[in-house]
Amino acid sequence: MSQLFDNYIAGEWRGSDHRIDNLNPSNTEDVIGRYAQATPDDVDAAVNAAAEASATWSVSGPLQRHAVLSAVSQGILARKEELGYLLAREEGKTKPEGIGEVARAAQVFDFFAGETLRLAGEKLPSVRPDIEIDITREPVGVVGAITPWNFPIAIPAWKTAPALAFGNCVVLKPANIAPGCAHALAEIIAAAGAPKGVFNLLMGSGGVAGKALLDHKGINAITFTGSVDTGRHIASECARTMKKVQLEMGGKNPLVVLDDADLDKAVECAVNGAYFSTGQRCTASSRLIVEQGIYDRFIDALAMRLGGLVVGDALKDGVHIGPLADESQLKKSRDYVEVGVKEGARLVCGGEAVEGDAPGYYMTPALFADATSEMRIVREEIFGPVASVMKASDFNHAVALANDTEFGLSAGICTTSLEKATRFKRAAKAGMVMVNLPTAGVDFHVPFGGTKGSSYGPREQGRYAAEFYTTMKTAYIGI
């Protein structure tokens, strides 16, 4: 009999007549648990509880918020191994990646515990005599957070922590594919002493629970991470209902490798950026743009390195690449391999579905060479272990190829030239630039986000998170 997991609404755990199975993608016979599915009535109850709690939490002092956020951070760390295992089991990242992500979630709460003590305002002179002006930041109110499955604890953390730190109440709807980590986060927040209603968890589908959140008048702001299509829909719904909105969406991130690059370093950047976490990262380097002088050597070295990677059960030691998160993710990646072949790109290696010891969604990392900018495998986000190499005639051509995309999240370059690295940093149309580093992998105390189709609204993370989670008040004081 599978364990039942309930929603967390108004400080209570609430079950549901309707539940879904959370399956292990490394072994689909392993049911992690049965997770409650929120109804529109549950959404209404959670939003109302958050609105009620907001009256006191929004004016709670920094000391109370600091204590709660610090306790959440410690609570996550205390369960780091267990939750890292759960993350790998429900999402398919390898266990070390899972444990790393859990530790990151703890760091995010710790950082925003500190931010509760640093929320500064401004005092300016008036242009009129005997008037002083104060500019202060206030909470937005009730924040609805809608999150994807690929970082099932880090993304809920990096939305919940700043929201709570700056005095907002939260209703979190995690992705249905991997709700287990968000459920554990709710347990930790409940145990950390957050007053009832300050944080609510609604597991359920985007079409029902997500839709009800978007429709609800009690939600003041929506922070969303997920695909471009869903993001577009959410933006238009938020415009219709006049909610503040922040969207973090897809990527098709370029990694440029110049002739003067350190080949070993460039190959490691590509392997890490394109294939780790099974390529299921918004910052994945799915476009490898390689200058002609190093092109053949880079492809040979990368193919050799990929051949040595172990694909398999995410929970087993020694595995480098776990399964895709579900059947549709596996099918999508395999379909794109077929598309790439039909488009005329050269499949250097990988792209085959493989059997594990148990039924799971395994695929070998696929590398295409001789790809061009018009191909769908180069233009569309695949979100799997598939990368395409394009040849660049020189630095300027490489930059033009890197920017030839509707996305703009992260852009990387491997070079030993300080001048070219600096020129790339200036020219890249992306929110984040990496020099001699993978395009994926970021710090938690600095802004995260992109340009063009990748992001909309203020940045997440670091102290800039205050832009979204607070609203400004300007006060004029006559003396």
Identity of the residue numbered 24: N
Q: At what angle do helices 80-91 and 180-191 cross, to 10 degrees?
A: 150
Catalytic residue status for 282: yes
Q: Does 351 bind ligand NAP (CB under 6 A)?
A: no
> Using the rule CB under 6 A, is 152 a contact of ligand NAP?
no
Q: Is 439 in the site for ligand NAP (CB under 6 A)?
A: no
Given the rule CB under 6 A, which of 147-155, 271-279, 312-320, 368-376 is the region that contacts ligand NAP?
147-155
Q: What sign for the dihedral angle of Cα 312, 316, 319, 322?
A: positive
The C-alpha atoms of residue 148 and residue 163 are separated, in whole angstroms, by 18
Of the listed 282, 381, 414, 460, which one is catalytic? 282
How far, in Å, CA of 110 to CA of 80, rounded? 14
Nearest distance from residue 155's CB to ligand NAP, in Å? 6
Of these, 28, 58, 70, 230, which contacts ligand NAP (CB under 6 A)?
A: 230
Tell me if 147 contacts ligand NAP by CB under 6 A: yes
Radius of gyration of the chain (CA): 23
Binding residue (CB under 6 A) for ligand NAP from 7, 24, 26, 176: 176
Q: Give CA torsion, residues 234, 238, 244, 247, to 10 deg.
A: 10
- For ligand NAP, the binding residues in 244-273 under the rule CB under 6 A are 248-251
The Cβ of residue 52 has, within 10 Å, a number of other Cβ atoms equal to 17
Q: Which of 362, 266, 262 is nearest to 314 (CA)?
A: 362
32-71 footprint of ligand NAP as x/- string (CB under 6 A)? ----------------------------------------
Instruction: Find out whether 147 and 137 touch, Cβ atoms under 8 Å.
Output: no
Nearer to ligand NAP, 148 or 167 (CB): 148
Say how many residues touch ligand NAP, by CB under 6 A: 30
The count of residues in the chain is: 479
Using CB under 6 A as the binding rule, whether residue 171 contacts ligand NAP is answered as no
Closest residue to ligand NAP in the complex (CB): 206
One character per residue 375-404, x = contact with ligand NAP (rule: CB under 6 A) = ------x-x---------------------
Please state the closest distance from residue 46 (CB atom) to ligand NAP, in A. 15
Count of helix runs (H) and strand runs (E) in the chain = 15, 25
Q: Which of 45, 99, 145, 175 binds ligand NAP (CB under 6 A)?
A: 175
| C-alpha separations of 135 from 83, 116, 472 in Å | 41, 17, 7
Distance from C-alpha of 220 to C-alpha of 235, rounded to nearest angstrom? 13
Q: How far is CA 68 from CA 11, 71, 146, 147, 467, in A?
A: 15, 5, 22, 22, 22
> Which residue of 38, 165, 214, 315 would you call a contact of ligand NAP, by CB under 6 A?
214
Tokens (6 digits) for 308: 């040595």
Positions in 190-209 near ligand NAP (CB under 6 A):
205-207
- Told to judge if 29 belongs to the known catalytic residues of this protein, a careful annotator would answer no
Question: Can you spell out the DSSP letters for 418-435?
Answer: HHHHHHHHHH--SSEEEE
Does 146 engage in binding with ligand NAP (CB under 6 A)? yes
- Site for ligand NAP (CB under 6 A): which residue of 5, 112, 151, 295? 151
State the catalytic residue, choosing from 248, 268, 291, 460.
Answer: 248
Catalytic residue IDs: 248, 282
Instruction: Please report, as ranges, the residues that interact with ligand NAP according to CB under 6 A.
Output: 146-151, 173, 175-176, 205-207, 210-211, 214, 225-227, 230, 233-234, 248-251, 282, 381, 383, 409, 454
